[in-house]
Chain A
């Protein structure tokens, strides 16, 4: 199955700054999801955006989706040290085999 690709692979910013991560994918999708993984732990679902939506907000998170470019971005505003984690995009292509995950962006928030 084809994967989404996150960009950049790693990102280091100062606390309080905004962090932006991008995801590109290859096929038509029903929805796109973002997950966070703290070191050595399981993944936690952050937000889901459907293919007919262009933007979605949840707290300090803002996700955009451009289906014409097959890309999505995750913006974390006013970053905190606790946001340090890996972030994965996952695409739902509507098939019976669930989600396809990218390789992730490792975000480090410097205090």
Chain B
């Protein structure tokens, strides 16, 4: 059974704190993604990675960074958390783009509240 896990289901942080969200997949997928989901806005892509140590900006990368040191792990970092980063964060993985037309597998999500 394929699995994408996220380090926390719920997280509460203070403004200005550095926040790490961790995602691990056990499917040997090349691609990994971080989205945020807000009411009325749907899913918006923050960053993605198509290989170890590779990263690409998505639609809303400002205020975020990522790290992919190992194939199975993709971390999202909020350098200095702000209240407008309160959101549901979803991690996903998929096989290589070059094999074409694959679905994404999602983790359960982390609901982050910044106070």
Extra pairs beyond A45-B103, A103-B41, A103-B42 (5, CB < 8 Å): A31-B101, A42-B109, A44-B106, A97-B48, A98-B97
A97 contacts B43, C-beta separation under 8 Å = no
Residue ranges of B at the interface with A (Cβ–Cβ < 8 Å): 4, 31, 33, 35, 40-43, 45, 48, 50, 56, 58-59, 88, 90, 92, 94, 97, 100-101, 103-109, 111
For A42, the chain B residues whose CB sits under 8 A away are 4, 90, 92, 106-109
A90 to B35, CA, bound (A): 13
Q: Within 8 Å of chain B (Cβ to Cβ): is A3?
A: yes
Kindly supply a per-residue 1/0 record for chain A positions 39-81, scoring 1 wherever the CB is within 8 Å of any chain B CB and 0 otherwise.
Answer: 0111111001010000000000000000000000000000000
CB B88 to nearest CB in A, in angstroms, measures: 8
For B103, the chain A residues whose CB sits under 8 A away are 33, 45, 48
For B111, the chain A residues whose CB sits under 8 A away are 40
For A50, the chain B residues whose CB sits under 8 A away are 101
For B43, the chain A residues whose CB sits under 8 A away are 43, 88, 101
The residue that A45 contacts in the complex, of B40, B50, B100, B105, with Cβ under 8 A, is: B105
Give the contacts of A87-111 with B (CB-CB under 8 A): 88, 90, 92, 96-99, 101-104
Given contacts A30-B101, A42-B107, A45-B103, contact A97 B58 (CB under 8 A): yes
Give the interface size class of chain A: 20 to 34
The residue that A98 contacts in the complex, of B42, B94, B109, with Cβ under 8 A, is: B94
A50 to B4, CA, bound (A): 25
CB-CB nearest in chain A for B33: A98
CB A87 to nearest CB in B, in angstroms, measures: 12
CB-CB nearest in chain A for B6: A42
